[in-house]
Amino acid sequence: GAVVSQHPSRVICKSGTSVKIECRSLDFQATTMFWYRQFPKQSLMLMATSNEGSKATYEQGVEKDKFLINHASLTLSTLTVTSAHPEDSSFYICSVNLAGGPQETQYFGPGTRLLVL
């Protein structure tokens, strides 16, 4: 499998500020990473697909100007929540796509808990 880290694990911020979350692929180069959001007792909802060296692809209903994604290298993707509001409080999880061969499995990071006051 793939080892994925996220930083920070938890963050508390004031309404109106911006928060950056990092997702790193530690043991292989990932051309594609995914960002998900998970509300309490709900499943994972895909927000966007992060592509190294090109613009991210956002899912319907996700504001690209609010959730800025940068995939500047093969091991790092960042999600910046701009002008955060309390309704942005959630659990944000990234994953990397381990492609090739018969399997295309996503391996997930440990998640980042965001609380906007």
Partner 1 sequence: EDQVTQSPEALRLQEGESSSLNCSYTVSGLRGLFWYRQDPGKGPEFLFTLYSAGEEKEKERLKATLTKKESFLHITAPKPEDSATYLCAVQVSGTYKYIFGTGTRLKVLA
- Based on the shown chain and the rule CB under 8 A, indicate whether residue 102 belongs to the binding site for partner 1: yes
Q: How far apart are CA 40 and CA 50, in angstroms?
A: 24
Q: How far apart are CA 55 and CA 53, in angstroms?
A: 7
Size of the site for partner 1 (CB under 8 A): 28
- In the list 28, 49, 62, 89, the residue contacting partner 1 (rule: CB under 8 A) is 49
CB of 72 to partner 1, least distance (A): 20
- Based on the shown chain and the rule CB under 8 A, indicate whether residue 35 belongs to the binding site for partner 1: no
- Based on the shown chain and the rule CB under 8 A, indicate whether residue 42 belongs to the binding site for partner 1: yes
Q: How far apart are CA 117 and CA 47, in angstroms?
A: 22
Q: Which is nearer to partner 1, 5 or 83 (CB)?
A: 5
CB of 50 to partner 1, least distance (A): 11
- Within 8 A by CB and 6+ apart from 34, the residues are 46, 48, 49, 50, 94, 95, 96, 97, 106
- Within 8 A by CB and 6+ apart from 27, the residues are 2, 3
Name the residues that contact partner 1, by CB under 8 A.
1, 4, 6, 32, 34, 41-46, 49, 91, 93, 95, 97, 99, 102-111, 113
